[in-house]
Structure 1
């Protein structure tokens, strides 16, 4: 065996010996964790950058000067409220009476009484300029680029383009980090966020902002993809689940902190810079203290560099690993410990075509259900997250609660999934999300607190499912197809992220329509999961035959998981 083979076989043992609580590992993970928090803040910042603002039509100078001169009144908000028709006791913000009809058909009593007589037969026209209510936001792209009335759809379009950036980033950064290295692409993602956020803050029109800010999504998800893979590769198998879940919570913490930043800085330009420019300070720390993944270096035959980095990690953690680099003699049989995972030859990993997932009936059924579940959970997650400020009430508090609810969702699901099982946990979380979102439609808008509670329960369910579906998917696919299977699932998730913003455009027709769609697709996703087998306590399938055996015994575990013990004999 050459030196590379020895290192690959003993890598898990080396990482376990180095430890994950040492100086190097903690320092690298903490820096990466902080940067990923800012990445999440930049993705989520669109909820405040593109927040809707109440607005009223601005009267023409000809109208104000005529009425002021004719009636001797000082023009105030009272007079402004009289230039537009009303509906359900609310002044319309996209229509106003024409100048000629107001001058010819109104008296001075109309302008001084403050009573908008909707029975008047006055002709109307579409407003061309607006005054924005700055009681909640000083400015957003809505006020700067007049994204109201006929242009209101552009707000959702900017969020859709952000999700397009997330979709492209997930694909390109995944491929790029495999080819050029985890550290390299993590740093590139940081630079992309800094540049795109900075340039978008200088936007002179809507399309410049929307297209440039799309790359914030690219860089933000790039941090997650490269960062997640990196920490998984430098952490021993025993602690990967904990470290992975901790990194996953960067989104939750990022959203919580973003609500505070948004509350303190209500100008969209300064807020955009406030959540992106700190990365300029963090980038040198990351480049100085972090090293490339030794596992990736070994995959690229850079054995000497991988060995040197492992020695740096060990020295920083106060460990000695020289004995692990010694070549085994000819008569030495075990190169790995009994409890250490065996490295599977790459030729065996790629022995099956990706098309086998669709040729084999069992794998096809499993794949389609998983694809749909990944699509749905991401669609609902981003749909609710990026539109939390649309709820009635304080938008900063609503967004804070939307981020905070993810902490118990992730922690609770990670505990329940190991006790109850993967399938019932995902089923229950999907149903909780679906039923709560459907119930929102039964409540009128004036019951805003109850609607917010149901919204948060829906977010809890989608976040909990998010924390489970990755593990479940990786346990259902056989080893030769596991990477490709989870990769396609992830692509479906990104499509769900884009679809979420298109679905929320339905709110322009009816405010409840998005929640009806989200609730329906979530409930369906939960019911479809019942068809899949349980993987708790089962070995990872190595072959397609292993997956088929797992699928054949799904009804046995189904009864155990869902039917109370006294009733099982009746089933």
Structure 2
């Protein structure tokens, strides 16, 4: 045992030092929320039709209505077709008027949009008709960036530290986020969004690890979920920003540039003392702990600090270490599945914000607002019911709501939106539980690798979610049926996981007993009113204190 846990109890579980650390995470969380969903408001559907200016060469005095009437076919409802036009001919105007045009073709010279429409991704890059699917593909490319970020920054954080990875990720997000507003081509836009997605993964995963490793067990969920509440506030801010700034390039700058304010507080961002100890950097860990104690106005007994020693032959863990031991293999497989299905239902609902039938700015505002009580309520759910029950029940509920939506008629948008909001509530609370639960299940030496692997699976779900939406062209209920059935299965699997409520963090994969055994022992002892220390020390009476 490295002894960091005992020293942190002396330093303080959630003093001014830890509260300052949580506050430092707020700006990145606001920016993360913007990048997750901003594209939905940059591709606003507007009336459009094929560019048929070719007829102006033979009829320069035609009115706009006459031009459209001669060059565009009409659909069954009598409106002009948006994706087809009559094939150009080399006749004179009188012949065209007398005989009309019959042969049709797809738009060959671009599209025409309302002149008063502010620039959007749709109008600037023609994301209509046969290019319409590029919208969902671009969202999947962003999710691919999240996947790559999970694969890169998780292990990197376990190797070079939490603080450097956070700073690198924040810098990349700000640089490429602002760069998106300057791109000349849509494919460059997708490439930049991919980099931003990678940086988002680096920020969310590493901030989670840093907060988890500095904050005591009793306050850990409150701290982690506070940043999640800030993410929800960011979604609400996005609704207001997108409503007031309709130019997509200005909107991108407004949402990306504030992240640079984070660099004014670089000196206040600490490195994880737990990580420093696992790397054998004991003196740096002592200085970090002494600084935390000083900010919290506490004193660490010199003898306790001198007992701080690294684990024997401690080394960085890798992805294979997650599968070598039976208890870690079970945790890894089930948590990866839970993150996958949770992400699938969360993004399945979030990315459908424009398709529920009501004003999507208000729907986004509701989606953001409902996440705040979901995140806050999750704190009490984790306290009352523990991690395992909360994770399982919330996943099952979010899936059942989506399955119910499949049976709601299209002419009931209010009912659909209300159910989607409930689904977003349960999916958000479940996601918050996943972050706390996964961080507690994996030991310090491979915590970021384990959480990174889970996050990678979640990002795979994020990549798939926009593509699943394309199945609605075959039947509108297919996407929601998939989004609903997957989390039900994942929730049932979570019953097999151990409980971690009230247990200290494991530092090494070779600790005295497996995390599952530690959790089970903690649960049985807490039921009797006592919790036994991880090192087999004396029991601490906590019958009057509820631990998270």
TM-score range, shorter chain: 0.7 to 0.9
3-state SS, counterpart of residue 309 of structure 1: helix
* Closer, same or farther: CA 491–293 of 1 in aligned 2, 3 Å: same
Greater CA drift, 540-549 or 221-230: 540-549
1:294 matched to 2:262? The reply is no
Q: CA deviation at 1:166?
A: 0.8
Structural mapping, 1:414-453, within 5 Å: 414-453=379-418
Matched, 1:31 2:24: yes
Aligned to 2:14: 20
Cα 1:378/1:139, change in 2 over 3 Å: same
Q: CA separation in 2, counterparts of 1:42 and 1:30?
A: 20
The answer as to whether partners of 1:56 and 1:130 remain within 8 angstroms in 2 is yes
SS at the partner of 2:72? coil
What CA distance in whole angstroms lies between the structure 2 residues aligned with 1:81 and 1:324? 90
Partner of 1:117: none
> Counterparts of 1:549 and 1:238 in 2: how far apart (Å)?
15
Q: Are 2:201 and 1:221 aligned?
A: yes
Length, aligned pairs only: 514
Match of 1:560 in 2: none
Distance 2:48 2:190 in 1: 25
1:443 deviates by: 2.8
| Comparing 84-93 and 498-507, the one that deviates more | 84-93
Is 1:92 the equivalent of 2:81? yes
Q: Which runs of 5+ in 2 are unaligned?
A: 507-511, 521-548
Stretch moving more, 54-63 or 237-246: 54-63
CA shift in 2, pair 1:478/1:41, >3 Å: closer
Residue in structure 1 matched with residue 373 of structure 2 by the alignment: 408
Equivalent of 1:506 in 467, 471, 476? 471
- Checking the alignment, whether the CA contact within 8 Å between 2:322 and 2:332 is kept in structure 1 is no
Q: 1:9 to 1:260 in 2, by over 3 A?
A: closer
1:463-482 matched pairs, under 5 angstroms: 463-472=428-437
Q: Write the distance in 2 (CA, Å) between the matches of 1:26 and 1:416.
A: 22
**Cα distance in 1 between the residues matched to 2:254 and 2:434:** 33
State the distance in 2 between where 1:468 and 1:132 align. Answer: 45
Aligned partners of 1:167 and 1:549: how far apart in 2? Answer: 30
- Please give the secondary structure, in 2, of the residue aligned with 1:86: coil
Q: Could you tell me whether the CA contact under 8 Å between 1:476 and 1:547 is conserved in 2? A: no
Q: Which has the larger radius of gyration?
A: 1
Conservation of the 8 A alpha-carbon contact between 2:158 and 2:448? no
**Map of 2:499 onto structure 1:** 535
- What secondary structure sits across from 1:125 in the alignment? strand
* In structure 2, C-alpha distance between the alignment counterparts of 1:487 and 1:14, rounded to whole Å: 30
Correspondence 1:40-55 to 2 at 5 A: 40-49=33-42, 51-55=43-47
Q: Counterpart of 2:64 in 1: which secondary structure?
A: coil
Q: In the TM superposition, what is the alpha-carbon distance from 1:378 to its structure 2 partner? A: 0.9
Kindly report the root-mean-square deviation, in angstroms, between the aligned alpha carbons of the 2 structures: 4.0
- TM-score (structure 2 length as normaliser): 0.80
1:209 to partner: Cα distance: 0.6
Aligned partner of 2:244 among 264, 276, 289: 264
| Secondary structure at the counterpart of residue 523 of structure 1 | helix
* 1:142-190 Cα distance to aligned partner (Å, 9 max, x none): 2111111111121111111111111111222222222222222211111
| C-alpha distance 226-458 of structure 1, shift in aligned 2 (>3 A) | same
Give the SS at the match of 1:55. coil
* 1:438–1:100 Cα change, 3 Å: farther
User: Deviations along 1:329-354, whole A, 9 cap, x unmatched?
Assistant: xxxxxx69xxxxx9976669979954
d(CA) in 1 for partners of 2:155 and 2:236? 31
Deviation, structure 1 residue 384:
2.2
